[in-house]
Structure 1
């Protein structure tokens, strides 16, 4: 199910679906989802209902990473506000009831993403519920005395879990269970009360953190978190609210170690038993550019520092885990070429230059120049065909085809040009000449892709592809007639209900014979109009994106012709392209190289 809310602070991250069931909880990095689900139940006038059965209305508070959930059960109205503290791994929850009722909280953890060897217990010393395995501890408390609790087995011997025990309004009071287990806890309440979940690496630290919440009060933590995010948005005060929401959503994904996963919605596991919980440096580069355009410096710095040590002989592999290891891949090592998407290495160079162009942080970039910028640029300059000047075969940005691609070539041009500008800034004339010459040879080679009415996506593959829009913006002159001709062809061939598909015949997660429209490709078309000097036409496609996004401002990866969201949501790249689009439509297109 599509995720409508993400909350995070760089060390604790949670996501909720359209019915406000929490589906993902990551701590301290999004390498393992520790949660199957968590949900809220109500016992009122002898009847029980789960919040997700009441068609809850979900929104974000304006300019903050606080979720607001409202629902009604008979004449009982309930309002929940959730926020992840701005400083510590604490999920703070405010619950308001208009009538007296019993409120149930069911937490179904699979710590380290498996149900082997967990323990759940009631802790009478803190009046809390605890679930742990090894060095992952989760402690749930409220500022009311516990009414009832239960721990028990799940998914074995026909047992569903203690969450099912909630539905008769009474819990078993079983104090501890180990193995495949979960817990539930209830409170008799009226008016407003607070709860909190803390995450830590051992019991003592979890207890101290929970006691800290009690001393500071959860109300104060929630207030300071709202105040922090609204102050954080000061730099973006001139941007539209939808852009500010996208900045917050990207920030909620960005981890304290500098990693930025593409998406954290685990429902995509149904497709091939893997997730988007990886750093793709293609997506990360555009997220960096979006944050830089909005005036945020530290996110990109942290990303570049995270990525510096990942370079292998000057290039980046397809994707990495958020703790810096090679991610899973489907690119074979038997093709005779390096199994990479070369555009990722190139785009990181380009993103670094955009960052430096905007902030001129010489002392920071100095630490990247030799070990990262020059190493990557040397690879790009050397990994080329001597006859055409174009890059040697690699996988395209869609990660599907090995070949020589228009977008990859344009990205390599942008990356080499960025490296040449760095070399010029540092007075490194030999390398400025080297990188500039290589860039011009790549740019000249782009002529080979034009096939009369559009740029072919690859040599020997003439299909129309939306990535040629992005490639043209990276490498070509907007006055080049071929640029406009290509845009017209993309717009004509790839239109799906007003949005733009990735390419002709796209098969990925499609429902019928028509491909799905992607939000990034639609936003590229909007940007392209700004590139051509016609921002008014671009606004039409921006409006399509806003109309087809979720009510909370979350933007998925794609939308089917019937209006379904078959893939991850939110997608960081979608939000990055929204910010870039709004920036270009408002301030004019700028390539920065």
Structure 2
């Protein structure tokens, strides 16, 4: 089964090691966040693919170095001024349309991957210009005061302070701190703001699938808080074919029932693995297989009443989480996947 899931994910791989989120017309784009999560499925392998993916992302940043340089010292105000989270698959240009483009968690996820790669001795930086791009992102998040910034969050929706975005930025800065000039103050401010919000995701969302990121991959909160997050997601958001993003989610909602996101199943499995609940981790691995579409394709979501996957099938992010969970269980690791 692992080989089948891997082959499907590989169909999404583009030149320069990048991935489109899905082959569908609506998701045939390069998302920094999606790719940062997809790359984690190659983190423990020595095939060079993890590094190649980050070189591709760094090439995008180089293309927009002028924007990074400008906003490293001048705080973005309008949404379009933020470092863009989404690019065309062919030209790697910013997608020029109204969108929730203020997505700080994407920058945090990117920095986290750079730091994890460096910690494992991978050659994440090709030259001084790559190093400059990372240092500019540090300045960008600091100037932005990410711990107070109202961004669009993981789901690209209304702007407010999101625990998952603040946590991603703090985790990213922590991951690269041993290798770059990262002041402690923005990290400390981020952690303080995060724990003031928890266990909520935001002012409007008490429970949210995005909170799982604080458990996996970031492992940013202590075990007691991990258990709170996992339990709340399971009690309030877990459904038959996946996990709803949050109560009242309108995306693909039908007859008052929220869409069920398949990636929530392996994500919960990985969260259980970080606290040593390997039986639960295994159960979520199996449960994900049960919601796969034809050909071992893991959809983005199922529409509740029709029990049908939407057109974003397969979703690369879903496949990557399943692969990491499979490899974690196979390796016999019980906790602290990264640390």
TM superposition score normalised by structure 2 = 0.86
Pairing 1:416-495 to 2, within 5 Å after superposition: 416-423=173-180, 431-432=181-182, 434=183, 436-450=184-198, 455-458=199-202, 460-473=203-216, 474-479=218-223, 481-495=224-238
Q: Residue 409 of structure 1 aligns with which residue?
A: 166
Cα deviations by residue, 1:239-286 (Å, 9 ceiling, x for unpaired): xx32x33332232222223432111123xxxxxxxx211111010111
Structure 2, gaps ≥5 residues long = 73-81
The SS at the match of 1:247 is: helix
Q: Residue 331 of structure 1 aligns with which residue?
A: 99
- Selected match of 1:540 from 283, 302, 326: 283
- On the 8 A contact 2:21/2:316 being kept in 1, the answer is yes
Distance 1:256 1:278 in 2: 13
Q: Residue 317 of structure 1 aligns with which residue?
A: 84
- On the 8 A contact 2:18/2:57 being kept in 1, the answer is no
Cα distance 1:340–1:477, how it changes in 2: closer, same or farther (>3 A)? closer
Q: CA deviation at 1:492?
A: 0.7
Distance 1:502 1:490 in 2: 9
Q: CA deviation at 1:570?
A: 1.0
Cα distance 1:359–1:445, how it changes in 2: closer, same or farther (>3 A)? same
Q: Higher RCO, 1 or 2 (CA under 8 Å, sep at least 6)?
A: 2
Q: Residue 146 of structure 1 aligns with which residue?
A: none
Q: CA deviation at 1:544?
A: 1.2
Pairing 1:371-410 to 2, within 5 Å after superposition: 372-384=133-145, 390-410=147-167
The SS at the match of 1:320 is: strand
Pairing 1:205-220 to 2, within 5 Å after superposition: none
Q: Residue 7 of structure 2 aligns with which residue?
A: 248
- Selected match of 2:260 from 514, 517, 523: 517
Cα distance 1:410–1:301, how it changes in 2: closer, same or farther (>3 A)? closer
- On the 8 A contact 1:262/1:279 being kept in 2, the answer is yes
Cα distance 1:293–1:362, how it changes in 2: closer, same or farther (>3 A)? closer
Q: Residue 18 of structure 2 aligns with which residue?
A: 259
Distance 1:439 1:573 in 2: 27
Structure 1, gaps ≥5 residues long = 1-240, 267-274, 333-338, 424-430
Cα distance 1:293–1:590, how it changes in 2: closer, same or farther (>3 A)? farther
The SS at the match of 2:243 is: strand
Cα deviations by residue, 1:306-363 (Å, 9 ceiling, x for unpaired): 323244325631311121111144337xxxxxx4211111211111222233343266
Pairing 1:338-353 to 2, within 5 Å after superposition: 339-353=101-115
Residue 501 (str. 1) matches residue 235 (str. 2) = no
- On the 8 A contact 2:32/2:57 being kept in 1, the answer is no
Greater Cα radius of gyration, structure 1 or 2: 1
Q: Residue 308 of structure 2 aligns with which residue?
A: 564
Q: CA deviation at 1:366?
A: 5.0
Distance 1:437 1:529 in 2: 31
Q: Residue 92 of structure 1 aligns with which residue?
A: none
Distance 1:247 1:377 in 2: 33
Q: Is the strand fraction higher in 1 or 2?
A: 1
Cα distance 1:305–1:504, how it changes in 2: closer, same or farther (>3 A)? same
Q: Residue 25 of structure 1 aligns with which residue?
A: none
Distance 1:419 1:559 in 2: 37
- Selected match of 1:364 from 112, 122, 126: 126
Q: CA deviation at 1:410?
A: 0.8
Distance 1:328 1:567 in 2: 23
Q: Residue 5 of structure 1 aligns with which residue?
A: none
How many aligned positions are there?
318
- On the 8 A contact 2:241/2:291 being kept in 1, the answer is no
Cα distance 1:356–1:367, how it changes in 2: closer, same or farther (>3 A)? farther
The SS at the match of 1:559 is: strand
Q: Is the helix fraction higher in 1 or 2?
A: 2
Distance 1:354 1:437 in 2: 21
The SS at the match of 2:171 is: helix
